[in-house]
Amino acid sequence: MKANQDSLGFARKALALAMHLSPRNKRAVILKFQLEKGVIPTILETQYSPKTLATLFVTRAEFLYQQKGNVNRLLARCLIDLAVTIDPRNEDAVYAYEIQKIDLGELAWGPITDAPKPVISNP
């Protein structure tokens, strides 16, 4: 898959979120270093399908949201945003995403990264 503006924005958000959730995550630390140095990272085979990854993100978001606190809730919203981008057919992700928009408005990624909002792909 060739990189485009949307996929690069998504990757920046995913990397920023990974660094917030686990600053010592080996893959995230290596990727961040390589990108900062202008090194094109090696493409790795994914361990999860988009459907599985979106489901994992929703589950993790639910856990974070229950922990309370502004930071946990922001990270939970970010995970939901990424989940619905990865798999727009995931009904739990879509429902959480839409309810968050109703209750809290559009998610501002500014506190996490300056990457633009990813475009939700057509299923």
**What's CA 48's distance to the chain center, in Å?**
14
Q: Where are the domains of the chain?
A: 1-45, 46-108
CB atoms within 10 A of CB 48: 11
Radius of gyration of the chain (CA): 14
Three-state DSSP class for 110? coil
Q: What is the pLDDT of residues 73-118, one digit of tens each?
A: 999 999 999 999 999 999 999 999 999 999 999 988 877 776 555 5
Q: What is the pLDDT of residues 41-52, one digit of tens each?
A: 887 788 889 899
Name the amino acid, one letter, at 68: K
What pTM, to 2 d.p., does this model score?
0.78
Length of the chain (residues): 123
